[in-house]
Amino acid sequence: DSGVTQTPKHLITATGQRVTLRCSPRSGDLSVYWYQQSLDQGLQFLIQYYNGEERAKGNILERFSAQQFPDLHSELNLSSLELGDSALYFCASSGSTSLSSYNEQFFGPGTRLTVL
């Protein structure tokens, strides 16, 4: 058990809908990362937050957004969903006390999103 929790575990929805994925990092970790994993794209970095502020952006679509709250949990919002958004979405956290990324990341179990 990595100490990172994600809810829900599975999510089935329709095209055009909006969903929210939730992540609670390990106790004390200030950095939260979101990733999308699909068969054709592999593991894609979406976005990173550090202590409530956005620190790095990857291949995140404009239809997607995220935030990190004062209690350090994070939410990833996916809107106007398309069939191609079906994937596993992982959250990870690390114990970075600075902006440096040399600390390893601890991954949650993921949320499997299916868009029908």
Which residues here bind another protein, judged by CB under 8 A? 2, 4, 35, 42-43, 45, 48, 55-58, 90, 92, 99-102, 104-110
| Distance from C-alpha of 47 to C-alpha of 28, rounded to nearest angstrom | 19
Give me the phi and psi of 60, to 5 degrees please. -95, 130
Least gap, CB of 87 to another protein (angstroms): 14
By beta-carbon proximity to another protein, the closer residue of 85 and 90 is 90
CA dihedral (87, 102, 72, 1) in degrees, to 10, reads 60
By beta-carbon proximity to another protein, the closer residue of 70 and 104 is 104
By beta-carbon proximity to another protein, the closer residue of 4 and 81 is 4
Least gap, CB of 107 to another protein (angstroms): 3
Q: In whole angstroms, how far apart are CA 58 and each of 43, 53, 64, 76? A: 11, 15, 12, 14
Least gap, CB of 51 to another protein (angstroms): 14
